[in-house]
Amino acid sequence: MPRILQITDPHVLTAGSLAYGVVDTGAAQDRTVAGIRTVLPRIGPIDLVVVTGDLVDNGTAAQYARFIEIMAPLGLPLRAVPGNHDARDPMRNAFASTDWMPRTGAIRWRYDLGGACVIGLDTLVPRAPHGALGPETLDWLADELEQAGHVPLIVAMHHPPIPTGIVQMDCQGLQAPEALQAILERHPGPVRIIAGHVHRLVMGSLGTVPVITGPGTSHAVTLDLRPARSATFDMEPGGVLIHDAGPEGIRSQLLPLGDWSGPHPFAG
């Protein structure tokens, strides 16, 4: 059964820089890679790593170079979509030597693996925090799904197409998700949308399509469900998601990141 590892919102900066003066995102991404490598014998094989946006914090070439350098020890196939902290052309240039990065236009792709299909969508609106899908991308998606046929489908994107309950994030989610919903609800196989942006685990649905957002790897948007709060972040433990896509459905689970003891035998 194809297995996908989702990493989201690493916000990598150049060495010595801190996000918001507080978060050493590069060090956190180093720990993420090390943590995944430690458990890989238990959770692998992983067919594909998907990064659902905000690879870096400010979209500079130097930040993308550091992101790629940090990720290299994973040694796994990797694809990514941009988030609102990314910049399309520097991201395109950083991955120019790969076979999946489009040379122009939206950073979108389709990856077929062992009876499942993963589609990456570009929701980036330059210099804006919210996301959108243009008519051209929606047409492209509909065409790709027609070609993919009756297979389990994972759609990777940065901006969640559902409200999360965190008001200051929901005003910057994916705008006008109805068109996406209409296309995905026509897909004959199991479908799941995987997203990021809120740096938290949130599950919901877009019509009949399940949606899950992953925790970040370095910092989390504060869980505050009261209205009219200003946006803040917490240094909660991060994590990554594992998605298995088979003919009987799609299963998603959380791999937290951090230090703890175990595995311990239950017999004791």
List residues binding Fe ion (CB under 5 A). 9, 54
Cβ proximity to Fe ion, 8 vs 181, nearer residue: 8
Of 39 and 235, which has the nearer Cβ to Fe ion?
235
CB closer to Fe ion, 52 vs 252:
52
Minimum distance of Fe ion from residue 45's CB (angstroms): 28
For 12, the token pair is 């990598």
| Cβ closest to Fe ion, residue 9 vs residue 244 | 9
CB of 99 to Fe ion, least distance (A): 27
**Residue among 47 and 54 whose Cβ is closer to Fe ion:** 54
Task: Provide the minimum distance between the beta carbon of 205 and Fe ion in the complex, in angstroms, as a whole number.
Answer: 22
> Least distance (Å) from Fe ion to the CB of residue 160?
11
Q: How many angstroms separate the CA atoms of 24 and 76, rounded?
A: 24
Reported as type and span, the H/E element at residue 78 is strand 78-81
Residue for token pair 């458990």: 39
CA distances from 203 to 15, 56, 206, 214, 255 (A): 34, 24, 10, 9, 16
Type of residue found at 67:
F
Phi then psi for residue 27, to 5 deg, are -65, -40
**How deeply is 123 buried, as exposed, middle or buried, from its count of CB atoms within 10 A (0-12, 13-18, 19+)?**
buried
The minimum distance between CB 199 and Fe ion, in angstroms, equals 6
Q: What are phi and psi of 96, to 5 degrees?
A: -60, -25
Phi and psi based region of residue 191 (left: phi greater than 0; alpha: psi -120 to 50; beta: remaining): beta
Quick one: 18 or 39, whose CB is closer to Fe ion?
18
Q: Pick the closer one to Fe ion by CB: 54 or 236.
A: 54
CB of 251 to Fe ion, least distance (A): 25
Long-range Cβ contact pairs of 138-142 (< 8 A, separation 24 or more): 138/179, 138/180, 138/183, 140/106, 140/108, 141/108, 141/180, 141/183, 142/183
Nearer to Fe ion, 54 or 244 (CB): 54
Smallest separation, CB 223 to Fe ion (Å): 15
Residue type, position 43, single letter: I
Residue with tokens 């210099």: 127
Vertex 25: Cα angle to 226 and 68 (nearest 5): 130
Nearest approach in angstroms of CB 241 to Fe ion is 15
